[in-house]
Amino acid sequence: MAKVVTDTKHYIAIADALREKTGDTLLLKPSEMATEVEKVYDAGKTKEWSDFWDEYLMKGTRQTFYAAFYGAGWNDKTFKPKYVIKPVNAQGMFNSSKITTIPKDAKGASMVQMPTTCTNMDYMFQGSTIKSIDFNIYGISCQKMTATFKNALELESIRMIDARGCTFIDTFLNTPKLKEVRFFKENSVNAYIAENINFKWSPLLSKESIVDIVDALYEKTTGKTLTLSQVAVNNAFETSTGSADGSTSSEWLSLTQKRPTWTISLV
């Protein structure tokens, strides 16, 4: 390679330009300039990210998120919102996305927080790869949760669902890895599942989850059915390790007797 004579003033000009972009004031050696160029590049990406989320989330004021993060293009790398998202309309919000985890802020709070005023969460996570939902799901204003978690094949846990007044149509259809779910309740009288609900596709449901679901059944409801996976009940309430006989155990039978007006079906 031929040797080239350079002028010091060119290095000074480059260094001045880099310092202007990075905000640094230190002198730069030629050997350090590549690193500074990378900083400028990263700063450009940060601004691009910031500008995008300012626009997409209307600087944190956006409320309607119909299919906002639909499809495989949204994943853990691309879904890094600048603002906390509080959807009033969450229909299809994460439908078919490849997001596995909702990110948290610096204090550990979820960057998605459902307000009690959310009016639509149908198909919210349908077909997505979400693994855990670490924020409360409020259905009190929706009155229905149609296919909310349908075909969420990787879903393992849901922090809490406030299901007061909700109907459940294919809400948990084909959720084979679901283990943990909790439902909002004040006490045995004011429990808040009052419509047919089906978990037959979730054979891994934990004992704690099953007990919680039964406890959440509104005790004055009549003519409604809770459907559970028999495999889940057999394993959760088994009388001895490996016996998988939980559905005939006295503990399970005692639990079902707490809601005599409900049909509790095992499939």
pLDDT tens across the length of the chain (267 residues): 455 444 566 446 555 655 665 666 666 565 564 565 556 556 667 888 888 999 999 999 999 999 999 999 999 999 999 999 999 999 999 999 999 999 999 999 999 999 999 999 999 999 999 999 999 998 888 889 999 999 999 999 999 998 888 999 999 999 999 999 999 876 555 557 999 999 999 999 999 999 999 999 988 899 999 999 999 999 999 998 889 899 999 999 999 999 999 999 999
Other beta carbons within 10 Å of 44:
11
Contact 40, 65 (CB under 8 A): no
User: What's the Cα-to-Cα distance from 160 to each of 114, 134, 138, rounded to whole Å?
Assistant: 11, 8, 8
According to DSSP, the residues that pair with 264 across neighbouring strands are 226
Contact 172, 145 (CB under 8 A): no
Residues 6 or more apart in contact with residue 34 via CB below 8 angstroms: none
What tokens were used for 128?
């997505």
Do β-strands 180-183 and 157-162 pair in parallel, antiparallel, or remain unpaired? Answer: parallel
What tokens were used for 162?
């406030």
